[in-house]
């Protein structure tokens, strides 16, 4: 993975494309501008705000469900409480760790992954639906980001209650980076070449997915990057 001004994460994961995932047992819906419901994850009792934007109902917070190959930023429990956990793609998908390096080839439709029952890891197409619902990729970043916590004047308007925080990422070598500057969310979608799509929000106004700049360290470990997960209601 290449570090530009703020890293654009793409994972070389055994399936390609990825973005957010999470889950819950119950939630209510509403119309943007702030969270409008709550869900409780029956697996660990944690609660999450939810928000309805257009035709979709999302978690309005990052998933914080502990599984293997997931971490708190800098291994700090306080970071998990604030930002949720960072997941490798295979752990976000609830697949064997081998799929961080191999093509999975399964269906990305309503793939529950690490999310609670009734919720799923979004597909790349579903992230695109979200971006279009808030004005398109050139302004979606500003509309979806939280109103505080971002560096370099990168705070958003949080116009729809999605409240994306700059949780940063974890490299395959265990190095954490970009908290305050970047948010990356897995999708359940592959591109057929062993890459996973992920959604990126940085200090700019844009929201974008990416599949370029892989293997920048020449180690083949890009799929071992760990990103945030947001879940989408089925």
Q: What is the pLDDT along the chain (234 residues), one digit of tens a residue?
A: 433 333 333 333 333 333 333 334 544 334 445 778 999 999 999 999 999 999 999 999 999 999 999 999 999 999 999 999 999 999 999 999 989 888 899 999 999 999 999 999 999 999 999 999 999 988 899 999 999 999 988 999 999 999 999 999 998 889 999 999 999 999 999 887 777 888 989 878 777 665 433 222 223 345 588 999 999 999
Q: Single out the residue of 153, 185, 154 nearest to residue 168, CA to CA.
A: 185
Query: Does residue 53 form part of some domain?
Result: yes
Query: Does residue 137 form part of some domain?
Result: yes
Query: Does residue 32 form part of some domain?
Result: no
Residue pair 147/155 in contact by the 8 Å Cβ criterion: yes
**CA–CA separation, 210 and 169 (whole Å):** 15
Model pLDDT, residue 71: 97
Count of domains in the chain? Answer: 1
Domain interval for residue 221? 37-233
Query: Does residue 97 form part of some domain?
Result: yes
Count of residues for the chain?
A: 234
Query: Does residue 6 form part of some domain?
Result: no
Residue pair 79/73 in contact by the 8 Å Cβ criterion: yes
Model pLDDT, residue 6: 33
Model pLDDT, residue 212: 33
Query: Does residue 187 form part of some domain?
Result: yes
Strand partners for 200 = 184, 208
Query: Does residue 31 form part of some domain?
Result: no
Q: Single out the residue of 188, 191, 189 nearest to residue 231, CA to CA.
A: 188
Query: Does residue 19 form part of some domain?
Result: no
């Amino acid at each position: 993975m290449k570090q530009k001004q703020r890293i654009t994460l793409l994972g070389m994961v055994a399936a390609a494309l990825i973005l957010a995932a999470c889950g819950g047992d119950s939630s209510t819906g509403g119309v943007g501008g702030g969270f409008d419901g709550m869900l409780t994850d029956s697996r660990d009792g944690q609660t999450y705000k939810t928000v309805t934007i257009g035709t979709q109902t999302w978690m309005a917070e990052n998933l914080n469900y502990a599984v293997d190959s997931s971490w708190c930023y800098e291994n700090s429990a306080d970071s998990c409480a604030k930002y949720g956990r960072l997941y490798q793609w295979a752990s976000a998908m609830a697949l064997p760790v081998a799929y961080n390096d191999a093509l999975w080839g399964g269906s990305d439709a309503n793939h529950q992954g690490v999310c609670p029952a009734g919720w799923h890891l979004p597909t790349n197409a579903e992230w695109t639906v979200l971006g279009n619902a808030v004005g398109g990729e050139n302004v979606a970043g500003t509309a979806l980001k939280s109103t505080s916590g971002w560096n370099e004047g990168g705070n958003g308007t949080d116009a729809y209650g999605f409240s994306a925080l700059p949780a940063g990422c974890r490299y395959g070598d265990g190095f954490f980076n970009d908290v305050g500057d970047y948010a990356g969310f897995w999708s359940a979608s592959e591109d057929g070449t062993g890459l996973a799509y992920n959604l990126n929000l940085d200090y700019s106004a844009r929201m974008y997915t990416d599949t370029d700049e892989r293997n920048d360290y020449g180690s083949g470990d890009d799929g071992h990057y760990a990103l945030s997960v947001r879940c989408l209601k089925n």
